[in-house]
Amino acid sequence: MFEFVTARELYELVHQGSLIEKDQLEYVELDGWVRTNRNNGSVGFIELNDGTYFKNVQLVYSKEDDDYTLCTSLNTGDAISAYGVFKITENGKQPFEIVLKKLTLLAKCDPSYPLQKKRHSFEFLREIAHLRPKANTFLAVFRVRSVLAMAIHEFFQSQGFVYVNGPIITGNDCEGAGETFSVTTLNDFSKGYKDDFFGKHTNLTVSAQLHAEAFAQCFRDVYTFGPTFRAEKSNTTRHAAEFWMVEPEIAFADLEDDMALIEDMVKYCIQTVLQECPAEMEFFNKMIDTSLIDRLTHVLNSKFEVMTYTDAIERLKKAVENGEAFENKNITWGMDLNSEHEKYLCEKVINGPLFLINYPKEIKSFYMKLNDDNKTVAACDLLVPHIGELVGGSQREENYEKLVARMNELHMNTSSLQWYLDLRRFGGVSSAGFGLGFERMVMYVTGVSNIRDVIPFPRTVNNCEF
Ligand code: 4AD
Ligand code: MG
């Protein structure tokens, strides 16, 4: 009797303890890729990874085995099928091992395989994005990414939110920043877009918010979670041209409700990852950022701070007076904060997540609700240490006239957004929502500092390989 198993099943079995008695031997078979293979002439050890679990499974073979020659010939990257006796180990580095009885070579790995056992730089690994998930760091990152995606769905679904898919091709630019990628089938643009596929100019979405708002006015609580595209030329560690955004929208709600939702969501994500990916999180804590788990645990147990934009400007002015070495020391009310300022506020002033609220209307999008001071809007950005802006949200302007006036001030084309304006005419109530940059969330919980390393095949300025 034997069972086909995965590494995950074996580790779960061992960690749960009771399922396999210490001295009860069982035959198992598993498939995987050789990580390392070493032998001292009489016994040998193969570290096998089958992708189902972060940790490897140790296979043991000896000179007496029929397959000894095959065993010794195995190299890093070879795919094999292993059949043997499952054994709990006493005091070993591994909690268990498999004593090989039969080995089958499934696929040979060419000696030019670039992922030999040594530490490679992130830069080098980016050049082999098709192979890097075989490296420990990426095996961990992309499992955490998957678990996080599920956590997002669980968080919203458990509260009755409806999952909405916004369109990817759209005629509008929600953020109004003009950083869109055009979608066209034309080669000749001299006659405009009249003869184009859609008979007009279209682009890839920069945000599904406007469409989410339409659905929030029907379902009350909704969220989108989809690919988002921005042709920002800023070549930073936090910007990608293609990324994933989570955009909830809640009706009958204001900025306070929005911030409470953001805080709950961030905490839920952290908690889920700590619970479901302990091996991966331990690895990040050891290899990438030794304060990671402590920091995340602290975030779980603290209330997020709130500061107005106006207070933040005062703080930053003081910081400059006290000699803080900002690149941009020209702090004035109305400025768009640079990431060094955002980092200073959440890392040095607060040392934790910080909501900055009530920004000047001039530096925020057209749809945000104007505050009573007529100068600021009901917006909130969640800033977190090491990342900066993790979330951007706001209460929406629900007053038709005010919204039209703002769009006119900004010389926006109201006719193409008449449908959006109409939401205000047909029983539109106050609503609020936010956008979470999903990759930034992955960076935040893993400690990985470059967005290119948390998305499988990154697209950034001058980079669209694979
Ligand atoms: O602050 P943003 O631009 O907000 C919006 O798009 C709103 N429509 C959201 C809403 O209220 N529904 O973007 C939201 C978040 C940012 O806080 C950031 O985390 C992420 O999206 N983000 C990016 N992530 C990676 N690469 C980029 N180029 C990003 N641009 C924004
Ligand atoms: Mg923003």
What lies within 8 Å, CB to CB, of 382 at 6+ separation is 262, 266, 304, 353, 354, 355, 389, 390, 391, 392, 393
φ, ψ at 373 (rounded to 5°): -75, -5
Q: Please indicate whether residue 175, judged by its CB atom, sits closer than 6 Å to ligand 1.
A: yes
243 lines ligand 1 (CB under 6 A): yes
Reported as a pLDDT band with limits 50, 70 and 90, residue 1 is low
Distance from the alpha carbon of residue 305 to the mean position of ligand 2, in angstroms:
18
Binding site membership of 393 for ligand 1 (Cβ less than 6 Å) = yes
Per residue in 320-355, pLDDT tens? 999 999 999 999 999 999 999 999 999 999 999 999
Q: Whose atoms come closest to the Cα of 359: which ligand?
A: 2
Residue bearing the CA closest to ligand 1, atom 19:
437
Sign of torsion over alpha carbons 21, 22, 25, 26 = positive
The H or E element that residue 249 is part of is: strand 242-251
What are the distances in angstroms from CA 126 to CA 2, 142, 207, 343?
40, 14, 27, 26
User: Given the CA of residue 394, which atom of ligand 1 is nearest to it?
Assistant: 11
Question: Of the ligands numbered here, which is closest to the C-alpha atom of 393?
Answer: 1
Residue 170 has pLDDT above 80, yes or no: yes
Residue nearest to atom 22 of ligand 1 (CA): 437
Give the per-residue pLDDT at 113: 95
Task: Round the average pLDDT of the chain to a whole number and report it.
Answer: 95
Distance CA 116, CA 163 (A): 43
Is the pLDDT at 374 greater than 90, yes or no?
yes
* Residue 387, Ramachandran bin (φ over 0: left; ψ between -120 and 50: alpha; else beta): alpha
Is ligand 1 within 6 A of the CB of residue 392?
yes
pLDDT at residue 18, rounded to an integer: 52
Q: How far, in Å, from the CA of 433 to the mean position of ligand 2?
A: 12
Does the Cβ of 434 fall within 6 Å of ligand 1? yes
**Rounded distance from Cα 389 to ligand 2 centre (Å):** 7
17-63 pLDDT, tens per residue? 655 555 565 899 999 999 999 999 999 999 999 999 999 999 999 99
**pLDDT digits over 86-123, tens only?**
998 887 788 999 999 999 999 999 999 999 878 899 99
Cα dihedral 64→65→67→72 (10° resolution): -60
Name 23's bridge partners: none
pLDDT (average), residues 360-369: 97
* Measured distance CA(146)–CA(46) in Å, rounded: 28
Segment 129-134 long-range contacts (CB within 8 Å, at least 24 positions apart): 129/456, 129/457, 129/458, 129/465, 129/466, 130/466, 133/456, 134/33, 134/49, 134/77
Q: Whose CA is nearest to atom 29 of ligand 1?
A: 239
Query: Could you tell me the pLDDT band of residue 16, with boundaries at 50, 70 and 90?
Result: confident
Average pLDDT over residues 382-392: 96
From ligand 2's centre to the CA of 293, what distance in Å?
Answer: 27
Q: How far apart are CA 176 and CA 226, in angstroms?
A: 19
Contact indicator for 342, 350 with CB cutoff of 8 Å: no
Q: Are strands 221-229 and 162-163 parallel, antiparallel or unpaired?
A: parallel
Ligand 1 midpoint to CA 239 (Å): 10
Q: For 171-217, what is each residue's pLDDT tens digit?
A: 988 888 889 999 999 999 888 999 999 999 999 999 999 999 999 99
CA 227 to ligand 2 center in whole angstroms: 16
Strand 305-308 and strand 354-360: the pairing is parallel
Q: From the CB of 205, is ligand 1 less than 6 Å away?
A: no
Q: pLDDT digits over 147-164, tens only? A: 999 999 999 999 999 999
Does ligand 1 come within 6 angstroms of the Cβ of 342?
no
| Ligand 1 atom nearest 232 alpha carbon | 28
> Which amino acid residue places its CA nearest to atom 24 of ligand 1?
437
Per DSSP, the residues of 84-124 read EEEEEPSS-SSSEEEEEEEEEEEE---TT-S--SS---HHH
| Runs of H (alpha helix) within 158-250 | 209-219
Q: 166 in ligand 1 pocket by Cβ < 6 Å?
A: no
125 pLDDT above the threshold of 70: yes
3-state secondary structure (DSSP) of residue 146:
helix
**Quick one: which of 255, 262, 163 has its CA closest to 215?**
163
C-alpha of residue 381 to centroid of ligand 2, in Å: 7
CA of 177, closest atom in ligand 1: 3
To test the pocket of ligand 1, the residue of 245, 359, 366 to mutate (highest count of ligand atoms within 8 Å of its CB) is 245
Nearest residue CA, atom 5 of ligand 1?
435
CA distances from 33 to 81, 106, 338, 438 (A): 9, 9, 45, 30
Instruction: Decide if 250 contacts 217 (C-beta within 8 A).
Output: no
pLDDT tens digits for range 284-327 = 999 999 999 999 999 999 999 999 999 999 999 999 999 999 99
Question: What is the whole-number distance in angstroms between the Cα of residue 435 and the centre of ligand 1?
Answer: 5
Closest ligand 1 atom to Cα of 393: 11
Q: Which amino acid is at 39?
A: N
What type of residue sits at position 143?
R
Look at ligand 1, atom 25, and give the residue with the nearest C-alpha: 239
Give the length of the chain.
Answer: 466
Residue from 458, 461, 386, 460 nearest 125 by CA = 458
> What is the percent of the chain with per-residue pLDDT over 70, rounded to a whole number?
98
Specify whether the CB–CB gap between 7 and 52 falls below 8 A. yes
